[in-house]
């Protein structure tokens, strides 16, 4: 078993950087899209609720691998042109995360007691004012722990991008080095350690926030 070289270590760390970049893009774009999904899911208009519900069911029922393939190969097939790996992976993961994160936030919005809506109506607030000034601040406090936990899933799901479109993230770097050296234990073991280093702090943060939320409710 040959020791890992400095160049190989740098290559693995560069792959980890690609994972973090895709994670940040996914969570940033996915959070904006998820908020829209969540608000549409609790809309007083039935047609908006049905459309958003259909979107959620469609995306949650579609494997991320398929979404990656559609976003990377689809534009070229229909004549738009070739899409680089990073934008294609980011768009696919934003779409994917928006459905799951949107459902998490929808549940947190509905977890706010109905009396909060009634009290806001008594104060003369419109539904929009009620949602953004009263309901969402409370819902986001409830949603913080599961949202941070979902970020762990985003970090791990970035590995799908290397399988479908060859995006150079952490698992891609491990696979390339293993193909060149035939030392799977070293490189996949190092990749596992780097994934753990990225995910474990988020897991701790999620547990800490959950304890704080439970303490406030007492």
Q: Which tens digits make up the pLDDT trace of 95-154?
A: 999 999 999 999 999 999 888 888 888 888 888 899 988 999 889 888 888 898 899 999
Q: How large is the average pLDDT for residues 165-191?
A: 91
**In this model, does residue 176 exceed pLDDT 70?**
yes
Enter the pTM of the model: 0.88
pLDDT given at position 215: 61
Q: How far apart are the first and last CA of the chain?
A: 55
Closest CA to 161 of 209, 62, 90: 90
The single residue listed with the structure tokens 């702090």 is 201
Where helices occur in 42-135 by DSSP H, the ranges are 46-60, 64-77, 85-111, 114-122, 127-130
Count of alpha carbons within 13 angstroms of residue 215, beta-carbon side: 6
Sign for the CA dihedral angle at 35, 40, 43, 49 comes to: negative
In sequence order, what are the residues at sequence separation of 6 or more whose Cβ sits closer than 8 angstroms to the Cβ of residue 42? 49, 106, 109, 110
User: 17 falls in which pLDDT band (50, 70, 90)?
Assistant: very high
pLDDT given at position 97: 96
Over residues 34-80, the pLDDT tens digits come to 999 999 999 999 999 999 999 999 999 999 999 999 999 999 888 88
pLDDT given at position 217: 56
**Exposure b/e, 82-104, CB count within 10 A at least 16 = b:** ebebbebbbbbbbbbbbbbbbbb
Count of alpha carbons within 13 angstroms of residue 54, beta-carbon side: 6
Where helices occur in 131-169 by DSSP H, the ranges are 136-157, 160-164
In sequence order, what are the residues at sequence separation of 6 or more whose Cβ sits closer than 8 angstroms to the Cβ of residue 185? 1
User: 82 falls in which pLDDT band (50, 70, 90)?
Assistant: confident
**In this model, does residue 31 exceed pLDDT 80?**
yes
Domain 6-217: assigned CATH number: 1.10.3720.10
In sequence order, what are the residues at sequence separation of 6 or more whose Cβ sits closer than 8 angstroms to the Cβ of residue 161? 22, 68, 85, 89, 92, 93, 167, 169, 172
Q: How far apart are CA 85 and CA 103, in angstroms?
A: 28
């Amino acid at each position: 078993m040959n020791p890992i070289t400095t160049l190989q270590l740098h290559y693995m760390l560069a792959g980890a950087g690609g994972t973090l970049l895709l994670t940040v893009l996914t969570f940033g774009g996915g959070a904006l899209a998820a908020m829209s999904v969540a608000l549409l899911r609790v809309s007083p208009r039935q047609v908006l609720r049905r459309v958003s519900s259909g979107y959620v069911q469609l995306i949650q029922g579609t494997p991320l691998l398929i979404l990656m393939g559609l976003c990377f190969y689809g534009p070229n097939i229909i004549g738009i042109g070739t899409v680089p790996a990073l934008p294609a992976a980011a768009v696919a993961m934003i779409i994917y995360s928006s459905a799951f994160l949107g459902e998490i936030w929808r549940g947190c919005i509905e977890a706010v007691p109905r009396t909060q809506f009634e009290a806001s109506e008594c104060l003369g607030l419109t539904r929009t004012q009620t949602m953004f000034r009263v309901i969402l601040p409370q819902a986001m406090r409830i949603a913080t722990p599961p949202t941070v936990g979902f970020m762990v899933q985003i970090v791990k799901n970035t590995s799908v991008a290397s399988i479908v479109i060859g995006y150079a993230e952490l698992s891609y770097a491990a696979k390339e080095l293993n193909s060149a050296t035939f030392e799977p234990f070293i490189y996949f073991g190092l990749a596992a350690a780097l994934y753990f280093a990225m995910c474990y702090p988020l897991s701790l943060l999620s547990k800490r926030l959950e304890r704080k939320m439970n303490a406030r409710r007492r």
